[in-house]
A and B are shown apart, each in its own frame.
Chain A
Amino acid sequence: MILLETKALTRTYGGVVAVSKVSFQAQEGLITGLIGPNGAGKTTLFNNMTGLDLPTAGKVYFKGKDITGHSAHKICRMGIARTFQNIRLFKELTVTENVMVGRHFKTGRNVNHGRTLTAVGSYLQMNREHQQVHAEAMRWLEFFGLEPFANELAKNLPYGHQRELEIARALATEPTLLFLDEPAAGMNPHETASLMATIRRIRDLGITVVLIEHDMKLVMNICDTISVLNYGENIANGTPSEIRGNPLVIEAYLGKEEE
């Protein structure tokens, strides 16, 4: 089943066409890779699908519903989460607090008891809710093995752990679809290997993953299907082995051979 798709999505900046009539699909339950040379329009496509940017033309559908132009917080609440190419943690908050922010919009609902009664009641309510959110955040930290760092400031974490924390925070919003923008960027081979295992575990939770990545070993190893962008255009789609042998893709990455 198609969980998310774009139809002829186009984004231009003045005369520059960053994304041109791209029809991208993400199948439910699979890991989809989005690859292409630098400047191919991968992150722009991500921004247009997560509400951070508005497409010039074309549509985005999530679970069959048109979400084009929805604001980012609304799209998040529908079940789409993402991470960034350059890590964007709340640097001055602790590791636990970062994940707790991801639980924010899940709180304050279905909690009518005691809420309107008295100030004391609502104060206790807030504390109870706070503890619950804290416990849920800790569960995600355990998923990533980050609980030893729970009380560290996010900015003091080693780089690889910062990447994992950003994913943990995204997962805390309980998405059905997770976008990862270059999750392995700057990681050493050991960190990359553990990241690959983590991404598989995320898929096994039933979460659909779409990732942008330049590390071909990672992409070819864990993606079920791959879409390739070049100069804003979708030039190929297929399984890793199909993509590996596709002459258009080889040309995009290596250039055309002189005859």
Chain B
Amino acid sequence: MGSMVEFFQHLMNGLTLGGIYALIALGYTMVYGILKFINFAHGDVLMVGSYIGLFVYNFIRGEVLGAWSILAFFLSMLVGMVFSALLGMTIEKVAYKPLRKATRLAPLLSAIGISFILSNLAAWFWGTKSRKLEYPFDNSPLYIGEVSITPHQILILAVVVVMMVSLKLFVDKTRIGKAMRATSLDQDTAKLMGIRVDRVISITFAIGSALAATAGILIALEIKVYPSMGTMTGLKAFVAAVVGGIGSISGAMVGGILLGLLETFGVALLGIPYGLRDTIAFVVLIIILLLKPEGILGKAEKEKV
């Protein structure tokens, strides 16, 4: 019975961690789906969004009390999302769009450059000391049977589910979502069908960046905010996107959740030392690349000669 409780406990922890990875992975996968390029500055956009969210929250929190602080938190999250969306769109216009016809390596290097610029600017402006984002609620755990769940975890799960469902509806049902899918299938043909491809690309960056900011602000409650917070988180979310099948939105969701579960259960059940936790993602990456390089939900593309 004790082991059952333990299992559910790890499941809960794994799901929340995985949900966060999935939110970030969506940004990688959507951009890849349309531009066939990995936006390595994605993790740093997450970091900037988290800082903005933190500043806004600290600014308004003093004015409100108690139950209202959760509203203040959501408002801060919204501001962080909007800021990140604008940042993501600007980066695309400045650093990637001019390189769209260059070799495929060029925008990739540009992205790595932007990543360094953002994290160093953050360190310069805001210092390297990590800052705490206070819980907007009492985070003492609640118990379902013997399984404990913190309000923070409930918040993460709720936000992740809402974001994923809305994204899926957006991409499947709306005009812009359909234009996105057409653009990812064939950019030139989409243009000839009257689709404004440049705008579709901008919107893709905006959505991906906003999701990253959401994830950043959610984890900031636990791991604090600091200039290099996006690096490892971003890298692992990238692994999640590849494991799920890069380019596939459902794949990013599946890959993220799977990675979260594997990390949690790897430490808890397989006895992998906690310090080696970060290696789990990369071992999984190697295994997937060897066995099913296109990812769990990815489609194998045949190179035509």
Q: Does the CB pair B191–A104 fall under 8 Å?
A: no
Q: How many residues of B contact A (CB 8 A)?
A: 19
Q: How far is the CA of A164 from the CA of B281 in the complex (A)?
A: 48
Q: Is A102 within 8 A of B185, CB to CB?
A: no
Q: How far is the CA of A159 from the CA of B195 in the complex (A)?
A: 26
Complex Cα–Cα for A103 and B198 (A): 19
**CB of A71 closer than 8 Å to a CB of B:** yes
> Please, which residues of chain A bring their CB within 8 A of the CB of B192?
50, 52, 72-73, 76, 81-82, 170
**With A101-B182, A104-B182 in contact, do A73 and B189 touch (Cβ < 8 Å)?**
no
User: A59 on the interface (CB 8 Å rule)?
Assistant: no
Is A88 interfacial (CB 8 A cutoff)?
A: yes
Interchain CB contact under 8 A, A52 and B188 = yes
At the interface, is chain B mostly helix, strand, loop or mixed?
helix
- Least Cβ distance of B175 to chain A in Å? 5
- Complex Cα spacing A51 to B195, Å: 13
User: In the complex, which residues of chain B have a beta carbon less than 8 angstroms from the beta carbon of A71?
Assistant: 191, 198
A127→B271 CA distance, assembly (Å): 52
Contact between chains at A76 and B175 (CB < 8 Å): no
User: Given the complex of chains A and B, what is the CA–CA distance between A108 and B177 in angstroms?
Assistant: 13
Chain B: minimal CB distance from A90 (Å): 5
The residue on A at minimum CB distance from B190 is A101
Report whether B193 and A52 are in contact in the complex, using a CB–CB cutoff of 8 Å.
Answer: no
Q: Once the chains are docked, how many angstroms separate the CA of A120 from the CA of B182?
A: 25
Q: Is the CB of A72 within 8 A of B186?
A: no
- A window 134-180: CB within 8 A of B: 169-170, 173
> A-contacting residues of B (Cβ < 8 Å)?
173-175, 178-179, 182, 185-186, 188-198
11 sample A-B contacts, Cβ–Cβ < 8 Å, listed by A number? A71-B191, A72-B192, A73-B194, A76-B193, A76-B194, A93-B185, A104-B194, A105-B193, A107-B175, A126-B174, A170-B192
Residues of A bordering B, CB below 8 Å: 50-52, 71-73, 76-77, 81-82, 84, 88-93, 101-102, 104-108, 123, 126, 169-170, 173
